[in-house]
Structure 1
Amino acid sequence: MGLVTGSLLLLLVPVALTIFKSAYAHLTSPIKSIPGPFFAKFTNVWRLLDALGGRAELSHQYLHAKYGPNVRLGPDLVSVSDPELLRKIYDIRGQFTKTNFYKVGDAKAGNVTIANVFSTRNNEDHSKRRSLLNSLYKIGNLVQMETRVDETINAFFKCIDQQFVEGPNSDIACPLDEWLLYFAWDVVGQLTFSKSMGFLDAGKDHSGFMDTSDRALDYFCVVGQLPALDDWLAKNPIEGIRKKGPPNFDAAAGYCLEKYMARVQGTDGKSVKTRDMLDDFLEVKSKNSDMDDFAVVSALLVNILAGADTTGILLRAIVYYTLKNPAVLKRLQDELDAADLTSPVSYSAACKLPYLDAVIREASRIHPGVGLLLERVVPEGGLQLPGSIFLPPGIKVGMSAWVVHQNKAVFGQDAASFNPQRWLRDTTLETEESFAARLANMKRSDLTFGAGKRSCLGKEFTLLETYKSMASLFLKYDMALTDPEKEWKIQNSWFVRQTGLDITFLQRRNR
């Protein structure tokens, strides 16, 4: 009995010390007055479990509705929702650096840890990387490869026609959530490597690459809440443990490394007459010593991991919410018909369509691609929140697009509803000046692609693909949700993925 009692006491001592340490840290914390979930005040395990539940974006919306504009989500993490803070936290000088949440996004190739333009926490390193690549992601450069997107749109429509319009499966529902992602991945392959990744042709995740990517993002989302876990799992120095660990970004890094080496060695079969983003990266490398082999691979990795999922999520949101609202569908197709377009629709023509633009903006507002906080570290000088709350240096702070985009003062009393009209002028109620001011305020509060110095490098990459494909899709087909009353399923794994977008296709009679 004495031995058992002694053993229990030995176990209780570290537990008691941990509880005491957490309680002391809370009582002496400079943010102890900020409300939030009880256990979140003491441990980051709360936020890990919240992320593990797969709907953290709803938790954040609920907590801000309950507690107000400032919510404590961890011992040293505060979520804020006031849009006026957006330009302070995500400023163009990058004074607020990324937190260690992002280190989980580093990849490991052998014994080398590879940060990328997304995951690096060093703003000087980020500025150097981004300055080398920035011009390559501008629309002026991307439209020179627009024919590759056209080829993929045509391949996408051919698959839809053969399988769901004219073929033996024309009477069954199309799982369009899957096909839009196949399309997005194949576009990334075309623009990056001059070759599709073969998902449309196969009609499935033939290589398991998409599944591996999804599971790597699941890992990033959850383990990022306690980044120290990553050092024992995906970044473990013992290779045997690392390989047997959970999915991470290493497989994608290995794929990019193979593609890079094949191009350098001339064994990838690419025609010298064609040009893609890997060619662009290699050209930058030839002129800049800062662009080494690892920098090229990390740039390819960002294209692969961010370019497909973010676009696929946006395309799904556009289709889902448009089909959920018949009046929106009719107005969009009327605009497309009146524009006298041919498919695939050119980017320049699609950008001139105001209602299409409004639909795309509204879909990205109501279903942003990223569902967690964009975390930053408060710099020297601290951060004064509205009112009397002051965040000292070292505290982590962030904003969620899923919370900010629901702000009624900015987006209107119907902010929870899908309404593309909010992006257009109401000529009966608004002057041109008042509309311009309202529109500018909404755009300033848009976190779809982040903001400031660390905003998404591939924004125009996504928009090129989105404007072209959505204009072409709604121009060519009549579509309907198989079950209009059925809600789709959502999984927040950093990217807020959707499934259950089952569609019935018809060829439009006038097309």
Structure 2
Amino acid sequence: MEVLNRSHALINSRILKGNLNLKNIFIFSVGIYVIYVLLYFTYQLFFSPLAKVPGPWYCAISRFWLAKASLAGRRIFAVHELHLKYGQYVRIAPNEVSISEIESVKKIHSSQNNFSKPEWYGVVANGVKSAFAIVDCEVHKARRKAYGSVYSNTNISLLEPVIRRHTNVCIQKIKRDLKHGPVDILRWFRFLAADIIAELCYGNDMEMLSKEAVNPIVEDLTTLLTIGGVRAEIPGLSLLEYLIGFIPHPTIKTITSCSQRIFDYSDKVLCDFQHKIQKDSSNCYAPYFFTRLVKNMDNPTEKNKLTFEELRHESTANLIAGSDTISTTATYAIWAILTHPTVREKLERELEDLGEEITDAKLNQLPYLKLVLKETLRLYGAGPGGMPRVVPPGGWRLGPFYFPGGTGVSSQGYTQHREIIVFEDPYEFIPERWANPTKEMEAHMMPWGGSSRDESMEFANYFNIKPSGNLCEVQRRTLS
């Protein structure tokens, strides 16, 4: 019995010592972590190759500030405010710099300088593996070559009847609704853009204009792009999404399955389009965006061709890129015209002589319209955010700073278009400024990628911009 008691006491003693050792290990581990964090902060603030680049101290040590701005839909404005405070080179994250100095911007985006795309593009694309998301330069070139002259002005002009048909339907329905009160033109332009892009890709529209309702696939596309834009700025969000996916809630399931619904839709309409092309004896589908690509899929002599899966990704990307950007920019164009009476009067006088049939050729002959559209793109282009690139191996000197290989660098159109040394009254909508533009003005234009008196028309920035109120109402003018 005494032996058992001694054994029990020995075991308890060892457990107590073990607990003490675990406590010491925990304290030691915390101490090591604190030292690591302090050393990391010290390095980033004082010894990093980017330490001399101006910017807030909190941007130098963490991406938290950038992630917070992205979640709030305010990234482009937050970065722009830093440029106003710190200048043309601003450190916005431990390994990322935003640049607005035009000569450096040209070097970054020159195809000769090998500033590659980061994995950010693939994250933003959210599983849509289109040319936009491809990081490898050679693979990207091959993908673009497969398109040939699909997007040339000559080919687009052949599609004008399709575009005009949908546009006429949209305008007639807006006129109809204006008789009964205010009309949300963003809603109608969204219908219009999605129907046009879908028909040009697949030979069939999305029936949004005819049904006067949003196709669920378009909602899925918007969700996909928004999630991708936020995920790209927040490391670890993909894991959180994965874990959330196990929650058996219908809304969560709807969001997490949007990619699959989009791909299922693309597969179906592409198969339908393939059958249409095979039966197209009159060759009426020849100028459509993917006719050539569909025909080349099984062509053994074609060097640059896409598989069905690649074509599905490209067509999905077209829907994403085309529908929201077109509808948003068109909405801001109308809003800007209607909120500037002098611009509206000048434009109406120019449009009076067009006659009943409005064609692209006629519109191209209207000088003031061109000025209005260019100023709209300057202030309200749908993709004003930064398109990041990675400094090539060996590093690069941009302006007064040397950036080591692997550094993230970006430039955003929102800031380029508001450079006060380039644009007089940069936040004002003044189409006349483009009547005699300077070389600097032309060089700073990056339209696809300010200030407003109407809060509902302020930007919400989740990769692309859109009005924060998600509508833009217009009404008939009452003549006194």
TM-score range, shorter chain: 0.7 to 0.9
1:494 to 2:444 alignment: no
Listed as ranges, the matches of 1:77-156 within 5 Å are 77-93=96-112, 95-108=114-127, 115-156=129-170
Which amino acid letter does the alignment assign opposite residue 134 of structure 2?
A: T
Q: 1:21 to 1:505 in 2, by over 3 A?
A: farther
RMSD: 3.3
Which of the pair has more CA radius of gyration? 2
**Given that residues 126 and 224 in structure 2 are in contact (C-alpha distance below 8 angstroms), is that contact kept between their aligned partners in structure 1?**
no
The CA distance in 2 between the partners of 1:193 and 1:229, in whole Å, is 33
Q: 2:194 aligns with which of 185, 190, 196?
A: 185
1:261 is matched with which residue?
271
Deviates further, 196-205 or 145-154: 196-205
**Given that residues 233 and 245 in structure 1 are in contact (C-alpha distance below 8 angstroms), is that contact kept between their aligned partners in structure 2?**
no
Q: 2:230 aligns with which of 200, 222, 226?
A: 222
Q: Describe the SS at the equivalent of 2:111.
A: coil
Give the deviation of 1:61 after TM superposition. 1.5
Which amino acid letter does the alignment assign opposite residue 301 of structure 1?
A: T
Ranges in structure 2 where 5+ consecutive residues have no aligned partner: 1-18
Q: Describe the SS at the equivalent of 2:91.
A: strand
Listed as ranges, the matches of 1:165-176 within 5 Å are 165=179, 170=180, 172-176=181-185
Give the deviation of 1:490 after TM superposition. 2.7
The CA distance in 2 between the partners of 1:487 and 1:292, in whole Å, is 43
The CA distance in 1 between the partners of 2:258 and 2:47, in whole Å, is 37
1:407 to 2:376 alignment: no
Per-residue Cα deviation, 1:217-251 (whole angstroms, up to 9, x for no partner): 2211111114554366479999x999787476444
Ranges in structure 1 where 5+ consecutive residues have no aligned partner: 109-113, 426-434, 451-483
Per-residue Cα deviation, 1:444-465 (whole angstroms, up to 9, x for no partner): 2211135xxxxxxxxxxxxxxx
Q: 1:51 to 1:247 in 2, by over 3 A?
A: farther
Q: Describe the SS at the equivalent of 1:304.
A: helix
Per-residue Cα deviation, 1:429-480 (whole angstroms, up to 9, x for no partner): xxxxxx5xx1x43222211135xxxxxxxxxxxxxxxxxxxxxxxxxxxxxx
Which amino acid letter does the alignment assign opposite residue 22 of structure 1?
A: Y
**Given that residues 225 and 320 in structure 2 are in contact (C-alpha distance below 8 angstroms), is that contact kept between their aligned partners in structure 1?**
no
Q: 1:19 to 1:271 in 2, by over 3 A?
A: farther
1:354 is matched with which residue?
367
Q: Describe the SS at the equivalent of 1:352.
A: coil
Per-residue Cα deviation, 1:320-350 (whole angstroms, up to 9, x for no partner): 1111100000101111113x3334x211111
The CA distance in 1 between the partners of 2:82 and 2:256, in whole Å, is 30
TM-score by length of 1: 0.79
The CA distance in 2 between the partners of 1:227 and 1:133, in whole Å, is 34
**Given that residues 118 and 390 in structure 2 are in contact (C-alpha distance below 8 angstroms), is that contact kept between their aligned partners in structure 1?**
yes
Give the deviation of 1:139 after TM superposition. 1.3
Q: 1:418 aligns with which of 413, 429, 433?
A: 429
**Given that residues 115 and 390 in structure 2 are in contact (C-alpha distance below 8 angstroms), is that contact kept between their aligned partners in structure 1?**
yes
Which amino acid letter does the alignment assign opposite residue 446 of structure 1?
A: M
Structure 1 residue runs of 4+, over 6 Å off? 2-8, 234-238, 240-245, 267-272
The CA distance in 2 between the partners of 1:351 and 1:173, in whole Å, is 30
**Given that residues 215 and 247 in structure 1 are in contact (C-alpha distance below 8 angstroms), is that contact kept between their aligned partners in structure 2?**
no
1:342 is matched with which residue?
356
Deviates further, 488-497 or 279-288: 279-288
1:466 is matched with which residue?
none
Q: Describe the SS at the equivalent of 1:497.
A: strand
Which amino acid letter does the alignment assign opposite residue 299 of structure 1?
A: E
Where relative contact order (Cα < 8 A, 6+ residues apart) is larger, the structure is 1
Which amino acid letter does the alignment assign opposite residue 185 of structure 1?
A: A
Give the deviation of 1:31 after TM superposition. 0.2
Which amino acid letter does the alignment assign opposite residue 459 of structure 2?
A: I
Q: 1:296 aligns with which of 303, 311, 322?
A: 311
User: What's the % identity of the aligned pairs?
Assistant: 20
Which amino acid letter does the alignment assign opposite residue 382 of structure 1?
A: G
2:34 is matched with which residue?
16
Give the deviation of 1:33 after TM superposition. 1.5
1:479 is matched with which residue?
none
**Given that residues 103 and 227 in structure 1 are in contact (C-alpha distance below 8 angstroms), is that contact kept between their aligned partners in structure 2?**
no
Q: How many residues align?
A: 447
1:277 is matched with which residue?
289
Deviates further, 43-52 or 219-228: 219-228
1:389 is matched with which residue?
401
2:10 is matched with which residue?
none
Per-residue Cα deviation, 1:384-436 (whole angstroms, up to 9, x for no partner): 232x321121111000100111012222x2111110001103xxxxxxxxx5x
Q: 1:272 to 1:179 in 2, by over 3 A?
A: same
The CA distance in 2 between the partners of 1:268 and 1:502, in whole Å, is 44
The CA distance in 1 between the partners of 2:273 and 2:242, in whole Å, is 28
Q: 1:281 to 1:293 in 2, by over 3 A?
A: same
Per-residue Cα deviation, 1:350-376 (whole angstroms, up to 9, x for no partner): 112111111111011012212421100
**Given that residues 101 and 227 in structure 1 are in contact (C-alpha distance below 8 angstroms), is that contact kept between their aligned partners in structure 2?**
no
Q: Describe the SS at the equivalent of 1:449.
A: coil
Which amino acid letter does the alignment assign opposite residue 387 of structure 2?
A: L
The CA distance in 1 between the partners of 2:159 and 2:280, in whole Å, is 15
**Given that residues 104 and 227 in structure 1 are in contact (C-alpha distance below 8 angstroms), is that contact kept between their aligned partners in structure 2?**
no
Which amino acid letter does the alignment assign opposite residue 350 of structure 1?
A: L
**Given that residues 394 and 405 in structure 2 are in contact (C-alpha distance below 8 angstroms), is that contact kept between their aligned partners in structure 1?**
yes
Listed as ranges, the matches of 1:463-474 within 5 Å are none
Q: Describe the SS at the equivalent of 2:476.
A: strand
